Each structure stands twice: as structure tokens, then as C-alpha cells.
Structure 1
Amino acid sequence: MLKTDHLNVDMFEKFAPRPGERALVPELTPKAQVALMCRMLFAEGWDDHIAGHITVRQPDGTILTNPWELTWDEVTASDIVTLDDKGNILDSNWNTTPAIGLHLQLHDARSEINVVIHNHPKWSGIWANLQETPPIYDQAGAYCGSELPIYNEYLGTFENQATSLTAVEALGDAKWALLAHHGALVVGRDLRQAHLRAATLEWRCRRAYEVRLAGGAEPLAADVIKQVSLPDPNGFPFLWEAMARRELRRDPNVLS
């Protein structure tokens, strides 16, 4: 029997960082946070060459995104591009992907979404190509719940505004989706929440494929998934900071 009683709201309130406590990461500019997010997700398997894009809406309505020309594991803070809400570049000589329209439409359609992530990860990409929803076999795969829609109407690439708008409408109010024959899409309120969702999705997909190759097993029951899903809407305590510190150890120049 899984021990699930430790995953409760009281635990998250008890261990939530409080004012005056030791900082878990150095003070980071918004652009440094986005650059770190690129590095962190690259390490999680969101690493299809120069494909993929992260957008983060700022309080003033501008949007930060990674440049088209760079891989996620080489992006630094100074490379991050600022866009207006129409996608116009405000402060960079880098380019943005033509598929940025999908992100802009999502930000426009859902006011609660400040982070949008799209790439072609290995493990979730397998299930997207199978057009199947991966079962959940362990606690780490259940952190964000079980519902996972598949957008299975491949109409072309996302630089076509009609195609991207169809994907936005199909996503509805979901927090993530598999894009058939394409990749994965994750949205979130902030970087911490979006990171947990992206990492959980790839873990879930990897474990499900490994279990299938091993001959199959009984997935977690729906009531168990509900018990172990994290109650904190802002992600797993300390996880974002821990993964950020790992990237800072690997390459402190990410902040430059």
C-alpha cells in the first residue's frame, strides 16, 4: 500500500519558504529565470535541437521567450527576447519561431496562463505518435493528476494561425496536452507550476513506455492517483530551486 498521508496541505504549508529565511537561489532577473527554465527542461528531456519555445508573460503584459536560433541548453539571460502582446520583438537581434502564434493565442485566450511550453520531448513524443494516453504507474507520474487530452487533428505546423487556434480551442482549460505526431504542450500560472507539469509529464510517459516494454502491469487506481497528486497549486516545494541550482553549478554563465 502506498504511503500517501504525508502528501497533504499541512506539509506544503509547513515547508513553504517564508520571508527572512535563507534564499534557496540567488536573486534572479525575470530573463535569468526563463534562461534557467530552458536549461532545466532540456535536462528533463525537452531537447529536440532548436525546436521548442517557452513564453512567460510579465506583469506589464510583455512576454519573454527563448530565441529561435539557440538550443535550450545554451541560452543565457541576455539571449532571452522580449515581445509585445502581438509578438513584435522589442529588445533583441535574435529571431523568434514562426510558431510563436500558438503561445500568443493561448496567453490571450486564458488569462490565468502566464507560462506556455512546447517542444518535442522523447517520451511524451512517443505517446503523441501512438495517439494514446500513457497510464500512470508510480507516484512521480501522478503528481499532476491523470487527465491528459490528445490533440489528434494534425493540420500542419503551428506557424499557421488557423491551425494554432484550433489547438488552443482543443486544449480548452487543460494544463497540458499531447499533440499527435508532433510533441507536447504544457501551460501554467508561473514557472514553478509549469516546470512540475513538464517534468511530471515526461516522467509519466517514460515510465509508461518502460512498463509496456517490460510486458505491462496494473496502473495506479484512480483513487490512489487522487491521493498522491500534489495539493499545492504552485508546484512541489523547493523543486524548482533545486533544479535551478543544478543548472547554476553546471554553467554559472547562464545568468550572463
Structure 2
Amino acid sequence: MLKTDYVNVEMLKKFAPRPGARDLLPEISPKAQVALMCRILFAEGWDDHIAGHITVRQPDGTILTNPWELAWDEITADDIVTLDAEGNVLDSDWNITPAIGLHLQLHKARSDIHVVIHNHPKWSGIWACLQEVPPIYDQAGAYCGVDLPIYNEYLGTLDNNEACASLIEALGENAKWALLAQHGALVVGKDLRQAHLRAATLEWRCRRAYEVRLAGGAEPLPNKVVEEVSLPDPNGFPFLWEAMARRELRRDPKVLGS
């Protein structure tokens, strides 16, 4: 088989972005960052109508989330809801999804998780329905490593405390994402940059795997190559989240709110 370099991964892992070299984004409030994340992930395919929820824990312990009534591509900073740690709304007239309990329990169970994302994307949703782990066929699908658990005890919407606790236990202490059988996808992260890379990589990996299957199949990347190609998670993908945020700002500057 032809050996391929993909990228010089060792060089990338040693690469340290120069802080302050350029302003990649204007100053953006925490609520505007969450609104931008909704828009960015909508463009990545996390776009099942008004379904789905993102929570971002703040340094003071409060949690920012998107409202239930709005689709992710119309949300602005003014729409983002602030919750306390128990899920009580502090500053909005919007509703929040009953399934927010899963996010609240995840934030409590794992101190490393500050961002939780759930939706029913098209491509990862296909593999969730197949209850199969999609193989990795290319570099972009390998950015976040090999392991991808499937939670296959789906009993309905995740608005039941017992069901949420079961899922959190199944995820364990280190899982970065999961497919929810016959349901959708779940991604967690320490910050927006890391969570975005995981969400985008998961959907890309699932799409490519399904396309390859339809084309008749191929040999996936060996796990060893995937681990060599995967990016250092503490940094996410340098500059990627900011680039996607700028794209959304060009599309609709009103996302920053009033």
C-alpha cells in the first residue's frame, strides 16, 4: 500500500500559536460565543430543526444555553439563557428543553466538562441508527482519535434522571463523544474550541464512512495511523474555531446581539 504523509503531525504538535500576534476576532461576550457556536455547528450539520442543546459552564458556575423555541441558525447573543447549576432560568423569558437535565448531570459528574452538545445530525445519526462505529478513512476524520462509544440503551428522550445517569456512567471518565443509538450524537469538551473540533470531526468521520460504504467499501486507516494524525486535544485545532466564527459574523453580524 502506498505510504502517505497526510500532514507533518509532529511539527503541528510542537507548534505553539503566538499569543497576540493578530486579533483573530473582536471582543465577544460569553453569550455571543455560545450563539456563534450554535451558528457554526448548524453549518456543520447539527441542524435538526429546533432540536438540540448546547450548554457552556461559566467560571462562576452558571451555565449558558440556547432556548428551546429557536433553531440554531437564528440564535443571537440576546437569546442565550443563563441557568444556575440546578437548571433554574436566571435571566430570560425563553423556555429551555426538558432534556437539559443530561447536561446538568454531566457538568456535575465531570469537572473537566465545560461544554456539552447534543443534537441529531444527519451523518452521525445514520451510524447511531445502524448502531455501528464508523471506520476512519481520512485525515479529517482522524483528528480526535479512534474511540467512539455507542450508548445503546435508548429508552426515549433524555429527560429522565435515571436514563441520564445511566448514560453518564456508560461514558465513563474520559469519553469525548458518543453515538446515542437510534437517537443522535453527544459531544463534550473543556472549551468551545475543543468541543467544536470534536463535533465537526464526528460528523465528517460519519459522512465519509457512509460515502465509502455506498461506494463499495475500502480499507480504513489503521489505528496507529489515526493516533499519529490526531491533533493534540488541549489546543483543539489552532485558529479553526475563530475562522468559523468569522464566517458566521460575515453572514450575519447581528449574531452578536444588541
Q: TM-score, normalised by structure 1?
A: 0.97
- Conserved 8 A contact 1:12-1:237: no
Provide closer, same or farther for how the CA distance between residues 232 and 120 of structure 1 changes in structure 2, counting only shifts above 3 A.
Answer: closer
Secondary structure of the 2:187 match is strand
% same residue: 76
Structure 1 226/12 Cα, relative in aligned 2: closer, same or farther at 3 Å?
closer
- 8 Å CA contact 2:194–2:233 kept in 1: the answer is no
Give the structure 2 partner of residue 130 of structure 1: 130
> What is the deviation of 1:224?
0.6
* Preserved CA contact (<8 Å) 1:81 1:90: yes
Matches within 5 A, 1:56-135: 56-135=56-135
* Runs of 4+ in structure 1 over 2 Å off: 10-15
* Residue number in structure 1 paired with 2:212: 211
Deviations along 1:121-150, one digit per CA (max 9) or x if unpaired, are 000000000000000000000000010000
1:7 corresponds to which residue?
A: 9
| Counterparts in 2 of 1:17 and 1:71: CA distance versus 1, 3 Å | farther
Question: Residue 48 of structure 2 corresponds to which residue in structure 1?
Answer: 48
Q: Which amino acid aligns with 1:101?
A: G
Q: Which residue pairs with 1:160 in the alignment? A: 160
For 2:183, the equivalent position in structure 1 comes to 182
Counterpart for residue 225 of structure 1: 226
Alpha-carbon distance in 2 for matches of 1:128, 1:215: 20
Q: Per-residue displacement from partner, 1:173-222 (whole Å, max 9, x unpaired)?
A: 20000000000000000000000000000000000000000000000011
Is 1:141 aligned to residue 162 of structure 2?
Answer: no
Higher deviation after alignment, 119-128 or 156-165: 156-165
- The structural deviation recorded for 1:14 is 3.5
Q: Secondary structure at the match of 1:54?
A: strand
Unaligned segments of structure 1, at least 5 residues: none
Deviates more, 1:230-239 or 1:44-53: 230-239
Partner of 2:25: 25
Whole-angstrom CA distance in 2 between matches of 1:198 and 1:175: 10
Following TM superposition, by how much is the alpha carbon of 1:155 offset from its aligned partner in structure 2, in angstroms?
Answer: 1.5
1-side partners of 2:12 and 2:37: how far apart?
26
Structure 2 Cα separation of the partners of residues 125 and 5 of structure 1: 29
**1:82-124 superposed Cα distances (whole Å, 9 cap, x missing partner):** 0000000000000100000000000000000000000000000
SS state at 2:235 partner: coil
Q: CA deviation at 1:52?
A: 0.2
- Return the alpha-carbon distance in structure 2 between the equivalents of residues 13 and 48 of structure 1: 38
Aligned length: 254
* Unaligned stretches of 5+ residues in structure 2: none
Kindly provide the amino acid, as one letter, of the partner of residue 219 in structure 1: P
Shift of 1:231: 2.0
Q: TM-score, normalised by structure 2?
A: 0.96
Deviation at 1:18, TM superposition (A): 0.9
